[in-house]
C-alpha cells in the first residue's frame, strides 16, 4: 500500500486531509506525515505544544521505581500537549510514536502517588516494543503533596478520573494522524495510583481500552488514607515506636509460624490469608531487648496487621497489612513505622497531604483532629465518587470484550494487599465467575509494585529475560486480547540480590486467585516447574 504524506499549511487543511490519508494508508506501520506537522493537528479541548523527531538514543527518560533509565530508545516522534476539558484544567500529556516498526497498538501508562509529572520512565518499555505510548501528569504539577487541590475542585476531578480518559482520546487522535490509521488495540498499564486509574477506566470508561493491567491498585483511595493515618498514630508515641531492628523479629516469627504452609520452607508466605500469626509471641518476658517487642510495640504491630476501624460503628475502614515481609527493604520502615521516632513515613505523608489538601483544604491542618467516625462520612461524601475505583459492576467492560489482569504483592507495605482480594471478590459476588475476562495474581513476598522477596519480575516495570506471554504480564494481556488465551499462570523471576546483572536466582509461577503455587514435593525449589497452581485447603483468613 502506498504511503500518503500530509503537508498541512494550516489547521483547516489538516482537518480536511486527515480522513483521506487514513483511508489510503490504513494498516501501515510507518509514519504518514512528518512529526513536526502534528503541531497543526486540531484536537478537541486540547492543543499540541511540541512535536519533535527524536533520533535513536538521543532521549533518556528518568528512571522509575524498579526500573533503570532506558539507555537507548529507538527513534520516535515526541508529542507534548495540553488538554483543557474544564476552565480550571491544564492536563499535560505526551505521546511517543515509533518512527518505524509501529505494532499498530497504543499503550497508555499510569501514574504513582499524587501524580504531578508525566511518568516518562514508564513510557520507555512499550516504545521499545513497538507501541505508540501515552501518559499524563493528571492535570497538575508537583507530586510532593496535594496543596494543588485546595480550592481547585476541577483539578481533583482531573486527578480522580478525567485526565486519563481525556488523554486516551487525544492519544488515539494523534496516532491516527501520524500513521494514517487508528490503533487496532489500546491498552492501559499502571501500578499504585496507576492501578487505581486502571480500575477506574474499566469501571467508568469501559470503551477506552480493550486490555488493562492494574497493579497494586490504590482503588479505595479515601479509606486507604485513613489506614495511613491509623498506622501513623499506632507508632507515634515513644513507647509504641517499633525501631527497624525489631522488624526482623516480627518477620522471623511470622515466617516461623506460616512459611511452611505451602509445603516448602523458602522464606515466603505463599498465602498470608491462611496465616494466623500473633505478634504476642515475640513480646518481651523481662527487660526490653533488640530480640523482643514491648507490650506497647506488640499492640502497635497488632494495629498495623489489623484493619483501621470506624470509631462509631466498629466496622473496618481499610484492611491491615500482611505478615511475612516486615523487614524487607522498602517495606515497613519506609512506609509504616519509620526509621526513627518522629520521622515521617511515606504512608503518613500521603495521608497527611490528602486530608490537608483534598479533604479539608487547609495546608496547616493538624491531622490529629481528623477522627475515624464522622470524618469518614465527610470524606466519602466529598470525594468517594471522584477518587474511589471500587465499583464491582464491570459488565460494560466485559461486554466490550475487555480483558483485565490485576496483581499485587503480598509483601506490599504501601497498600494493603488484602484490598486487591476484597475488590476481586466483590466483582465475583456481583457478576459471578470472572475467569473469561478478569484475573487476579497475588505475588508472594513482593513489595509495592515490585522488589522485595520472592520472584517479583514479570513485566511489571523491569525487563524480563526472554520475555513472552508466559512470563510477562503485558504480553500475557496482549495474547489474551488478540488470541483469546487467558493466562493460566505467569512465571515470575527473581534476580540475585534483585539485580538483573547478577543473573536469575529463581522462577516461580504466579497463579490466578484463589489458586496458589504449591510445591510438588520434589524437584528444584528454585524452578517454576516444581510447583503447581492449586486451590489451598483450609479456611482463608479474612
- Give SS3 for 161: helix
Dihedral angle of Cα 359, 363, 369, 372, to the nearest 10 degrees:
30
Residue 435 CB coordination number (10 Å): 11
**Residues in CB range of 408: below 8 A, 6 or more apart:** 215, 216, 217, 415, 417, 419, 420, 440, 442, 443
Output b/e per residue, 397-432; b: 16+ Cβ within 10 A: bbeeebbbbbbbbbbbbbbbbbbbbbbbeebbeeee
Element (H, E) at 309: strand 308-309
Query: Taking each helix axis from N to C terminus, what angle separates 346-353 and 221-234, rounded to the nearest 10 degrees?
Result: 120
Beta bridge partners of 53: 77
Whether the ω angle into residue 514 lies within 30 degrees of 0, i.e. cis, is yes
Is residue 5 within 8 A of residue 30, CB to CB? The reply is: no
Point out the catalytic residue in the list 412, 420, 470, 478: 412
Alpha helices in 211-310 (DSSP H): 221-234, 244-258, 295-305
Residue 287 CB coordination number (10 Å): 7
- Give SS3 for 304: helix
**Residues in CB range of 381: below 8 A, 6 or more apart:** none
Point out the catalytic residue in the list 37, 192, 240, 254: 192
Residue 336 CB coordination number (10 Å): 25
Among this protein's residues, is 192 annotated catalytic? yes
**Residues in CB range of 300: below 8 A, 6 or more apart:** 234, 235, 240, 241, 242, 337
In whole angstroms, give the CA distance from residue 467 to residue 450.
17
Dihedral angle of Cα 261, 265, 266, 268, to the nearest 10 degrees:
30
**Residues in CB range of 446: below 8 A, 6 or more apart:** 409, 410, 411, 412, 452, 453, 454, 456
Element (H, E) at 438: strand 438-443
- Give SS3 for 209: coil
Q: Cα(first)–Cα(last) distance of the chain, in Å?
A: 59
Burial class (CB in 10 A: 0-12, 13-18, 19+), 374: exposed
Point out the catalytic residue in the list 140, 152, 223, 448: 448
- Provide the sign of the torsion angle of the four alpha carbons 68, 72, 74, 80, taken in this order: positive
- Give SS3 for 448: coil
Catalytic residues: 192, 412, 448
Amino acid at each position: 500500500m502506498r504511503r500518503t504524506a500530509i503537508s498541512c499549511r494550516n489547521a483547516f487543511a489538516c482537518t480536511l486531509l486527515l480522513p483521506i490519508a487514513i483511508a489510503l494508508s490504513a494498516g501501515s506501520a510507518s509514519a504518514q506525515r512528518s512529526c513536526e506537522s502534528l503541531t497543526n493537528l486540531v484536537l478537541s479541548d486540547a492543543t499540541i505544544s511540541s512535536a519533535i523527531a527524536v533520533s535513536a538514543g538521543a532521549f533518556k527518560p528518568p528512571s522509575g521505581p524498579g526500573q533503570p533509565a532506558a539507555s537507548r530508545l529507538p527513534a520516535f516522534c515526541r508529542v507534548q500537549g495540553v488538554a483543557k476539558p474544564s476552565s480550571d484544567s491544564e492536563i499535560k500529556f505526551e505521546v511517543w510514536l515509533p518512527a518505524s516498526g509501529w505494532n499498530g497498538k497504543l499503550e497508555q501508562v499510569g501514574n504513582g502517588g499524587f501524580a504531578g509529572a508525566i511518568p516518562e520512565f514508564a513510557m520507555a518499555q512499550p516504545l521499545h516494543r513497538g507501541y505508540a505510548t501515552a501518559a499524563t501528569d493528571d492535570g497538575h504539577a508537583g507530586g510532593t503533596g496535594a496543596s494543588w487541590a485546595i480550592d481547585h475542585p476541577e483539578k481533583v476531578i482531573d486527578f480522580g478520573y478525567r485526565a486519563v480518559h481525556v488523554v486516551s482520546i487525544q492519544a488515539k487522535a494523534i496516532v491516527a494522524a501520524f500513521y494514517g490509521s487508528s490503533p487496532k488495540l489500546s491498552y492501559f498499564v499502571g501500578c499504585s495510583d496507576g492501578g487505581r486509574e486502571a480500575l477506574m477506566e474499566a469501571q467508568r470508561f469501559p470503551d477506552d481500552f480493550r486490555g488493562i493491567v492494574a497493579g497494586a491498585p490504590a482503588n479505595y483511595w479515601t479509606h486507604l488514607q485513613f489506614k495511613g493515618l491509623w498506622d501513623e498514630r499506632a507508632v507515634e508515641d515513644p513507647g509504641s515506636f517499633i525501631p527497624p531492628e525489631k522488624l526482623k523479629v516480627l518477620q522471623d516469627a511470622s515466617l516461623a509460624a506460616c512459611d511452611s504452609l505451602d509445603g516448602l520452607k523458602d522464606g515466603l508466605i505463599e498465602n498470608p490469608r491462611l496465616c494466623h500469626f500473633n505478634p504476642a509471641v515475640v513480646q518481651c518476658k523481662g527487660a526490653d531487648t533488640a530480640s523482643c517487642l514491648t507490650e506497647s510495640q506488640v499492640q502497635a504491630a497488632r494495629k498495623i496487621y489489623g484493619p483501621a476501624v470506624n470509631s462509631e460503628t466498629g466496622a473496618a475502614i481499610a484492611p491491615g497489612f500482611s505478615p511475612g515481609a516486615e523487614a524487607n527493604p522498602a517495606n515497613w520502615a519506609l512506609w509504616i513505622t519509620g526509621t526513627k521516632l518522629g520521622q515521617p513515613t511515606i504512608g503518613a505523608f500521603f495521608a497527611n497531604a490528602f486530608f490537608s489538601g483534598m479533604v479539608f483544604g487547609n495546608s496547616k491542618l493538624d491531622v490529629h483532629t481528623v477522627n475515624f467516625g464522622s470524618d469518614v462520612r465527610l470524606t466519602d461524601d466529598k470525594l468517594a465518587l471522584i477518587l474511589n475505583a471500587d465499583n464491582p459492576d464491570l459488565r460494560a467492560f466485559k461486554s466490550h470484550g475487555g480483558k483485565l489482569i490485576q496483581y499485587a504483592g503480598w509483601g506490599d507495605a504501601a497498600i494493603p494487599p488484602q484490598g486487591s482480594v476484597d475488590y476481586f471478590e466483590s466483582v465475583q459476588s456481583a457478576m459471578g465467575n470472572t475467569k473469561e475476562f478478569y484475573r487476579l495474581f497475588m505475588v508472594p513476598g513482593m513489595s509495592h509494585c515490585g522488589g522485595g522477596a520472592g520472584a517479583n519480575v514479570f513485566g511489571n516495570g523491569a525487563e524480563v529475560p526472554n520475555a513472552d506471554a508466559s512470563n510477562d504480564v503485558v504480553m500475557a494481556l496482549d495474547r489474551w486480547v488478540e488470541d483469546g488465551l487467558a493466562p493460566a499462570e505467569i512465571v515470575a523471576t527473581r534476580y540475585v540480590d534483585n539485580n538483573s546483572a547478577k543473573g536469575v536466582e529463581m522462577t516461580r509461577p504466579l497463579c490466578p486467585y484463589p489458586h496458589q503455587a504449591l510445591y510438588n514435593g520434589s524437584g528444584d525449589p528454585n524452578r517454576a516447574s516444581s510447583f503447581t497452581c492449586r486451590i489451598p485447603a483450609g479456611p482463608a483468613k479474612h
